[in-house]
Every structure is written in structure tokens, then in C-alpha cells.
């Protein structure tokens, strides 16, 4: 009887110790390419959140992170391709414009708000967006690092590349913009009037100081700092 009690106590102690170690263990490792960035421009650990941007160390870029909260960054909003006088205005679907939406609307609103401390947001080039494509981690995932780029849909995402010849089934529109599909990982040219998803990008300044494992960077150091004006 005593042996059974002692055995039970040892098992209980082992379970308690295991659970305690599980709670204190870090749930993931630093990503070799990406760092989460808060809306205020603060670097986050891989297991922290919420985050509004992703820093791409490989390409020296800062990426917009989509949401599901019906803000201007909601991943469900779609946009026609438009840039000043080129493309098609207001043929996408969103709630933050009185008319329907185009890519220039998202760029304007995001720069106005200064997402992650940056006001130089734009459409990515085809090469930039295509560089995010990677094999999905599970069958239902999109072709992107899903743990960092959340709310990415199984659909087409606009790039800044334009005036490309359209395939024959779109020949009545002649030219369009290039897009990347994160369901297939493939690229295609679409008519400007198509309602497609959009993820913005910006150049990321001060990259040499933005590594979470670098002692120079404290937990309160802002990642994105605007250059000081020269008053001379």
C-alpha cells in the first residue's frame, strides 16, 4: 500500500514538473528571416502579439499584416488596381470608403495613419511579393509563412507591376497588372478592374539595429525611426 502511494506521489510530482516546464518554455524560435513589429514600431518575440507589420530581413522590407477586424487592413477587403491616372478606380469592396475601393485608397489611408511608424507604404513589386511564396506548412495553408502573415487569403494579391499583356481570355481589356496567388503560389496578369486582395510594403530603415537577439536593442527601443531633419 505504501509503495503504491509513493509511486502515485512520484508520478504526480513528475507531471507537475513537466507542466511547469511547458509553461515556461518558449513556444517557438526566432525566425531567420522575419520579425513581428507592433503597430507602434516595437519589435516582438515570435510568440508575442498583436503585431501589425512583419520585418523582412532578407529583403530589407516592412510588410503590412492583414487583420479580421474590419479596419482598413482587414484581409477580406478587395481592390481594383489603380495608380493616379492608370488602372480602374473603385471596383473593389471595402467599408472604409464612401465609394468602392482601389489600391490607391489603401495606400493613402495607410500612409495617413503611419502604420508601424512608417508613411512610405506602397504596392510591392512582383519580385518582392513573389519572394514571400513558400511551401505551405499544412494542406489548408496558404503559400506564405502563415505564423507571421496571418489572414492571407487563398486568392490573388496585386503588385505594382502594370501594363502587362493580358492572356487571351481577357483580350478585350488588353493590358493589366501582375498579381501573385497565395493559394497556388503562382503569378498571373489580371485586368485592372478585377477585385483582388492587397498587401502593402515599405522600405525598412535602420535594419542594422533591428535584430531581437542583438544586445543593442532593448524591449522598448522603437524599430522604425524617421530621419532627423537637417535645420542647417
For residue 28, being part of any structural domain is answered with no
For residue 69, being part of any structural domain is answered with yes
- What tens digit of pLDDT does each residue of 150-176 get? 999 999 999 999 999 999 889 899 999
Q: Which residues contact 120 (CB under 8 A, 6 or more apart)?
A: 111, 202, 203
Q: Determine the pLDDT at residue 75.
A: 97
CA distance 208 to 80: 36
Query: How many other C-beta atoms are found inside a 10 Å radius of the C-beta of residue 17?
Result: 10
For residue 103, being part of any structural domain is answered with yes
Tell me: pLDDT of 188 over 90: yes
* Least confidently predicted of 7-21, 92-106, 166-180: 7-21
For residue 8, being part of any structural domain is answered with no
For residue 21, being part of any structural domain is answered with no
8 Å CB contact between 177 and 162: yes
* Least confidently predicted of 134-148, 187-201, 205-219: 205-219
For the chain, the domain total comes to 1
- What tens digit of pLDDT does each residue of 109-129 get? 999 999 999 999 999 999 999
Residue 163: all three cell numbers together: 501594363
Tell me: pLDDT of 93 over 50: yes
- What tens digit of pLDDT does each residue of 34-66 get? 999 999 999 999 999 999 999 999 999 999 999
CA distance 123 to 40: 21
Helix (H) or strand (E) holding 43: strand 43-44
**Residue 85, CA distances (Å) to 81, 82, 104, 177, 179 in order:** 11, 7, 11, 14, 19
Q: Determine the pLDDT at residue 139.
A: 84
8 Å CB contact between 157 and 197: yes
For residue 14, being part of any structural domain is answered with no
Q: How open is the CA angle 67-36-19, to the nearest 5 degrees? A: 95
The whole domain housing 139 covers 34-209
For residue 195, being part of any structural domain is answered with yes
For residue 92, being part of any structural domain is answered with yes
Answer with the residue of higher pLDDT: 98 or 6. 98
Amino acid at each position: 500500500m505504501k509503495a503504491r502511494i509513493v509511486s502515485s506521489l512520484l508520478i504526480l510530482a513528475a507531471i507537475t514538473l513537466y507542466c511547469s516546464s511547458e509553461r515556461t518554455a518558449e513556444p517557438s524560435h526566432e525566425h531567420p528571416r522575419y520579425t513581428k513589429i507592433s503597430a507602434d514600431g516595437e519589435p516582438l518575440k515570435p510568440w508575442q502579439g498583436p503585431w501589425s507589420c512583419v520585418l523582412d530581413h532578407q529583403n530589407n522590407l516592412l510588410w503590412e499584416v492583414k487583420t479580421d477586424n474590419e479596419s482598413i487592413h482587414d484581409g477580406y477587403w478587395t481592390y481594383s488596381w489603380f495608380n493616379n491616372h492608370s488602372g480602374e478606380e473603385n471596383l473593389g469592396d471595402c467599408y472604409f470608403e464612401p465609394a468602392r475601393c482601389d489600391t490607391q485608397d489603401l495606400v493613402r489611408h495607410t500612409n495617413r495613419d503611419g502604420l508601424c511608424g512608417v508613411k512610405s507604404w506602397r504596392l510591392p513589386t512582383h519580385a518582392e511579393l513573389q519572394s514571400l511564396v513558400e511551401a505551405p506548412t499544412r494542406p489548408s495553408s496558404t503559400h506564405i509563412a502563415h505564423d507571421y502573415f496571418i489572414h492571407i487569403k487563398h486568392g490573388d494579391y496585386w503588385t505594382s507591376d502594370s501594363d502587362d499583356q493580358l492572356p487571351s481570355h481577357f483580350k478585350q481589356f488588353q493590358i493589366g497588372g501582375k498579381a501573385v496567388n497565395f493559394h497556388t503560389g503562382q503569378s498571373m496578369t489580371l485586368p485592372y478592374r478585377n477585385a483582388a486582395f492587397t498587401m502593402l510594403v515599405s522600405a525598412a530603415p535602420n535594419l542594422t539595429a533591428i535584430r531581437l537577439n542583438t544586445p543593442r536593442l532593448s524591449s522598448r527601443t522603437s524599430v522604425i525611426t524617421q530621419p532627423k531633419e537637417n535645420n542647417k
